[in-house]
Chains A and B, each alone.
Chain A
Amino acid sequence: MNKYYGKALASMGDQVIEGEAIVTSTPITLLGFVNPKEGIITQEGHDLNGLSITNKIFVFPKGIGSTVGPYTLINLMKNGKGPMAIINRESDQGTVSGCSVARIPMGYGYDDDPTKFIKSGDNLRLTLSHGKSIIEILS
């Protein structure tokens, strides 16, 4: 089985997460286009429009848009509609801050593009340890 090595937020410590992936190669606008009460992407024309990220491992290149975006991640978690983990290609400050404060396990900094080597519906294992992360595609 292929293993993909990347980074993780140091503050998240050590943990292992397993779950189903939902993947897009289009950036996510957290404020305004993700519904924090329902965990659904609400952006017309986006390939995930209308789909839920709740309890999935949410794989996207980076977050864009307002500096208030991180509160969308906090509100998703507060409402029990958050993703199980986040995997980013390049990521961005808002997603990093949001994950750090909302305690969402997050991986980034892989040599290959996770929005390509992971497909929606794949069953993943994300292992976080000391600021490093490993992605394994289980099935």
Chain B
Amino acid sequence: MELTKEEEQILQGESGEGPRAALSLLIDVGDFFEASKLIPISSAHISGVSYLTGGDGLIDQLSLFVEKGAKVSIPSTLNPCGMDRVNWENMYIDLNFATKQFEILKLFDELDVSTTCSCTPYDFGHLLSKGQHVAWAESSAVTFANSFFGARTNKEDSLSVLAAAIIGKTPYYGFHLSENRVPNVKVVVEANLNEYTDYSILGEIVGKTFSKHSFQYGAIPYFEKITNPRPQELKALGAALASFGTQLYHVDGITPEQELLAYAEIVDEMVITQDMLEKTYQSFYPETIPDLTVIGCPNANLEEIQNVAKLVKNKKIKEGKEFWVFSSAAQKAIAQSSGYIDILQAAGVKFYTDTCPEVMPYDKMRFTSILTNSVKAAHYIAAPSLNDLPTYILPLKKCVEEFFNE
């Protein structure tokens, strides 16, 4: 990879040990992908925040950067951490975990990263424009950035994104180049997509079907016959696809890079029928109804919060059941001003911020299985080295029907 004079100087340690270590990592990654150079980026979204997923290694790594005096050089937002910063005790989080989590958040603050933790920073001001080069981590956010905004980011990992945020640059390869953004698989949707979970299930079917191919940058589906999707529905589709390695998809007539569709190099295609959708729903159907429902993977936007509020209004949660909604503190403030939080509280819904259904540790004495409306949540909550809890899927309306009395 070719380095500028300024980059050579950073590598010699002239800007200090923090930038030197960060640049050294970017060079390893750039060389690996045979990038020709580093390019400037306008923002970063950083993953690797929860003590559950990052462990003590995360604290060590951040401490190293802080001790070396490193700061991020571009606007940078932060992924969910492992608990609600204010209401962590209500989530049955223990003090040791909370102490470690607060330490991690303080370290990010010292690096000048905005600590309004969420996997959907675009819902509170971290917006992107078409063609803009950025470095985002968090697979669902990467897919949204590439597909919804038409911005350009690779799926940065938690270490490379931190290095990119410090240097303000990322290796020029993969999704930063137009030729790698053209569709390679095609999906014709003959099924009716009526709500959020339908899109999540669609992502599961498509992701699984095309995972037999080994595309260098994952499958890039081109969807036909999806009409008038809401932003959160495209978010749900992308999040589910991302669990199978997709970082970009296009929708005929909807997503911003329509000009690339003419260059599609389709190597496989499929038709989605109503029957396929229903069969996949059945494979996630709960054997017995769990005691906890989690909504907000990825973090709920205002419309999703409003939808929950509409469904639970004038109802009351059933004895022994808990219903949790996850989003950012920013969305909570807006939902509060719209009156939705009061409705949720009256019905017995618990609203948690700063975290998400996947990166928090569940109290396993209390909960032995989980219900959700998101494929991505189901995959990760069940992962053996994360929470290892059986997780089932129902659409929001049915979750509410199971958990609330009139």
Q: Which residues from chain A sit less than 8 Å from chain B, CB to CB?
A: 7, 9-11, 29, 31-36, 42-44, 64-71, 74-75, 77-78, 90-91, 93-94, 96-98, 100-102, 108, 131
Contacts and interface: CB of A to CB of B under 8 A. Distances in A.
Contacts of B32: 7, 9, 91, 93, 96, 108
A36 B385 contact: yes
Given A10-B27, A11-B27, A93 B53 contact: no
A67 B80 CA distance: 13
A67 B155 contact: yes
B57 interface: yes
Contacts of A91: 32
**Chain B interface mostly helix, strand, loop or mixed?**
helix
29 contacts: A7-B31, A9-B32, A11-B25, A11-B28, A31-B53, A31-B383, A32-B383, A33-B384, A35-B385, A42-B384, A42-B385, A66-B47, A66-B380, A67-B142, A67-B155, A67-B161, A68-B48, A68-B54, A71-B57, A71-B58, A74-B55, A74-B57, A77-B57, A78-B60, A94-B157, A96-B28, A97-B157, A97-B158, A101-B159
B160 interface: yes
Contacts of A11: 24-25, 27-28
A78 B383 contact: no
A70 B33 CA distance: 17
Contact of A97 (B29, B139, B386): B29
A67 B48 contact: yes
Nearest to B49: A68
B23 to A, nearest CB: 10
A9 B383 CA distance: 30
Given A67-B156, A74-B58, 11 more contacts: A10-B28, A10-B31, A11-B28, A66-B139, A67-B138, A67-B157, A68-B50, A68-B158, A69-B157, A71-B55, A93-B33
B29 to A, nearest CB: 6
B60 A74 contact: yes
A73 to B, nearest CB: 8
A70 B106 CA distance: 21
Taking residues whose C-beta sits less than 8 angstroms from the other chain, chain B's interface range is 35 or more
Contact of A71 (B54, B160, B161, B386): B54
Interface in B31-48: 31-33, 47-48
B28 A67 contact: no
Interface of B: 24-25, 27-29, 31-33, 47-48, 50, 53-58, 60-61, 137-139, 142, 154-161, 214, 243, 245, 380, 383-386
B137 A67 contact: yes
Contacts of B27: 10-11
Contacts of B157: 67-70, 93-94, 97-98
A36 B383 CA distance: 14
B385 A31 contact: yes
Residue among A36, A64, A68, A94 with the most chain B CB within 10 A? Answer: A68
B188 to A, nearest CB: 27
Contacts of A31: 53, 383, 385-386
A91 B33 CA distance: 10
Residue among A35, A90, A100 with the most chain B CB within 10 A? Answer: A100
A100 B25 contact: yes
A98 B160 CA distance: 9
Nearest to A76: B57
Nearest to B380: A32
Nearest to A78: B57
A131 B207 CA distance: 35
Q: Give me the 3 closest cross-chain CB pairs, A-B, nearest first.
A: A32-B383, A74-B57, A75-B57
Residue among B24, B48, B158, B160 with the most chain A CB within 10 A? Answer: B158
